[in-house]
């Protein structure tokens, strides 16, 4: 199986090879256009995959801001971008994985080889293309169901048994409830522990930290090898970076709470906690 992370030295000589597709998954919480960023400069031959319209769907507020698309809808997205079921996909963004990890995690859950370009755009040594890019539509792609073992629902998160660690990947100030730029209530799910997804990155390179570094970060919030873990964030996107880091560190499997805090905070009957410690921040 392809590792969860690859670097530019792995990707550059393979760029353009049959069976390999590169996906640009830039997305910004502040509303800037990921597509505009792609068109201003992207890896040669890469396609733009839209987080809002292709890697998620609109749902009820309690489902969060980025519910997973149905298996049928996601299969159509893959076909539209020319991604066949045996193709290898490398995804990148310009934040270190905060949005591109979503596509990588989705594909890996379906058993498809996919990896995150570690460090993203800032590590690319070659030239960039500009413009809209060229799609290569594939034939029909058969839908594959999302594996239930990879997901945690809201009722389960509300009553996690002792020993299961709920990890919130948001920035410390959002976790503590000091600010909330987009969701209806500030704070965090009671019992959650905060490991900001940026805290898994080396601040000097923007790449994921070493295996030893990652294990130490997870250990600081009580996650060791084999510890049951559920990852959450604002809307089930940046939590995927934590899930890839968890896998890369060899800590076993973990699950995603897709609705995350956006879904939780939209239900007025759900309790919310304020304050708390943030462990493993960068710097």
Task: Confirm whether 175 is domain-assigned.
Answer: yes
Task: Confirm whether 273 is domain-assigned.
Answer: no
The answer to whether 27 touches 97, Cβ cutoff 8 Å, is: no
Asked whether residue 181 falls in the same domain as residue 253, the answer is: yes
Asked whether residue 186 falls in the same domain as residue 106, the answer is: no
Asked whether residue 113 falls in the same domain as residue 181, the answer is: no
Task: Confirm whether 117 is domain-assigned.
Answer: yes
So what's the pLDDT on residue 282?
Answer: 37
Task: Confirm whether 276 is domain-assigned.
Answer: no
Asked whether residue 195 falls in the same domain as residue 89, the answer is: no
pLDDT at 280 over 60: no
Catalytic residue among 233, 245, 251, 254: 233
What tokens were used for 184?
A: 């209806």
Range of the domain at 108: 5-123
DSSP three-state, residue 249: coil
Task: Confirm whether 216 is domain-assigned.
Answer: yes
pLDDT digits 0-9 by tens, 207-253: 999 999 999 999 999 999 999 999 999 999 999 999 999 999 999 98
CATH, residue 197: 3.40.250.10
Question: Taking all residues of the chain, what is their mean pLDDT, rounded to a whole number?
Answer: 94
Task: Confirm whether 241 is domain-assigned.
Answer: yes
- Annotated catalytic residue 240: no
pLDDT at 125 over 90: yes
So what's the pLDDT on residue 111?
Answer: 95
Question: Nearest 5 degrees, angle CA 242-CA 32-CA 67?
Answer: 45
How many domains does one find in the chain?
2
What would the mean pLDDT of 1-21 be, rounded to a whole number? Answer: 94
The model's pTM? 0.95
The answer to whether 93 touches 241, Cβ cutoff 8 Å, is: no
So what's the pLDDT on residue 104?
Answer: 98
Task: Confirm whether 11 is domain-assigned.
Answer: yes
Task: Confirm whether 130 is domain-assigned.
Answer: no
pLDDT digits 0-9 by tens, 92-112: 999 999 999 999 999 999 999
> How many Å apart are CA 74 and CA 35, to the nearest integer?
19
């Amino acid at each position: 199986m392809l590792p969860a992370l690859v670097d530019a030295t792995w990707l550059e000589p393979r760029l353009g090879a049959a069976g390999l597709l590169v996906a640009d998954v830039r997305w910004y919480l502040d509303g800037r256009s990921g597509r505009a960023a792609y068109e201003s400069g992207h890896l040669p031959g890469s396609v733009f995959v839209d987080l809002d319209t292709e890697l998620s769907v609109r749902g009820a507020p309690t489902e969060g801001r980025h519910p997973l698309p149905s298996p049928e809808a996601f299969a159509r997205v893959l076909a539209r971008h020319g991604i066949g079921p045996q193709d290898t996909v490398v995804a990148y963004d310009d934040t270190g994985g905060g949005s591109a990890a979503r596509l990588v995690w989705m594909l890996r859950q379906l058993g498809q080889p996919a990896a995150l370009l570690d460090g993203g755009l800032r590590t690319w040594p070659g030239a960039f293309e500009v413009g809209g890019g060229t799609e290569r539509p594939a034939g029909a792609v058969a839908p594959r169901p999302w594996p239930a073992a990879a997901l945690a629902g809201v009722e389960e998160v509300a009553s996690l048994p002792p020993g299961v660690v709920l990890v919130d990947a948001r920035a410390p100030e959002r976790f503590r409830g000091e600010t909330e730029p987009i969701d209806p209530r500030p704070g965090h799910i009671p019992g959650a522990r905060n490991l900001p997804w940026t805290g898994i990155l080396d601040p000097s390179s923007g790449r994921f930290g070493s295996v030893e570094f990652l294990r130490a970060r997870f250990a600081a919030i009580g996650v060791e090898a084999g510890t049951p873990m559920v990852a959450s964030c604002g809307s089930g996107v940046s939590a995927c970076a934590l899930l890839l880091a968890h896998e890369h560190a060899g800590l076993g499997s973990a699950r995603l709470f897709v609705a995350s805090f956006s879904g939780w905070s939209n239900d007025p009957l759900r309790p919310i906690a304020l304050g708390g410690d943030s462990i493993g921040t960068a710097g």
